Structure 1
Amino acid sequence: MGLSTTHLIIFLVIIVLIFGTKKLKNIGSDIGGAVKGFKDGMKDGDKAAADAAAAAPTAQVTAEAAAKRAADGQTVDVEAKVK
């Protein structure tokens, strides 16, 4: 048992009578602005993450250098992360 076209029209008329067309227009504009802002924020976030990943320096130590440093016994092996 679903909603027929007549039921939907009656439902929309009741909604318009309760809220009024001006308030419904404002609600639609607010929702549209919020969706647009969310999409822009997601694009900016992805762009910022990609820029940060590209700008992060990658320091790789060769196996020989790591073995030499480990041989002196005073080197602590850590991994530094860029914030």
Structure 2
Amino acid sequence: MGSLGIGHWIIVLAVVLLLFGRGKISDLMGDVAKGIKSFKKGMADDDEPAKPSAAPEAPRPLPGQSTSAATEGEKKVV
């Protein structure tokens, strides 16, 4: 009672083909294939090690906090 037989599946397939047509289904499958290829390419790009930057940036001081270089410069000026 709850199972679908082969006849039911043929009718469902015929309705899907009538609604979408052969061209739309093949276009859809082509788009799915392109998506899979781009996903694999993106995963391969993530596996490559990141290139280190030329010079690391010095950490910025918090607001209201003086840096040691600024205090040393002030001492030399005075």
- TM-score band, normalised by shorter chain: 0.5 to 0.7
Q: Look up the equivalent residue of 2:26 and give its one-letter code.
A: K
Shift of 1:19: 0.8
Residue of structure 1 equivalent to 2:34? 33
- Give the aligned length: 53
RMSD: 2.2
Gaps of 5+ in 2: 53-78
Q: Look up the equivalent residue of 1:52 and give its one-letter code.
A: A
CA distance in 2, matches of 1:45, 1:35: 15
Q: Look up the equivalent residue of 1:31 and give its one-letter code.
A: V
Gaps of 5+ in 1: 56-83
CA distance in 2, matches of 1:2, 1:45: 45
Larger RCO of the pair (alpha carbons < 8 Å, separation 6+)? 1
**SS of equivalent residue, structure 2 residue 33:** helix
Shift of 1:37: 0.8
The structure carrying a bigger helix percent of its residues is 1
| C-alpha distance 37-3 of structure 1, shift in aligned 2 (>3 A) | farther
Identity of aligned residues (%): 35
Residue of structure 1 equivalent to 2:45? 44
Give the structure with higher Rg (CA). 2
Q: Look up the equivalent residue of 2:38 and give its one-letter code.
A: G
CA distance in 2, matches of 1:36, 1:3: 35
Q: Look up the equivalent residue of 1:16 and give its one-letter code.
A: L
CA distance in 1, matches of 2:46, 2:4: 41
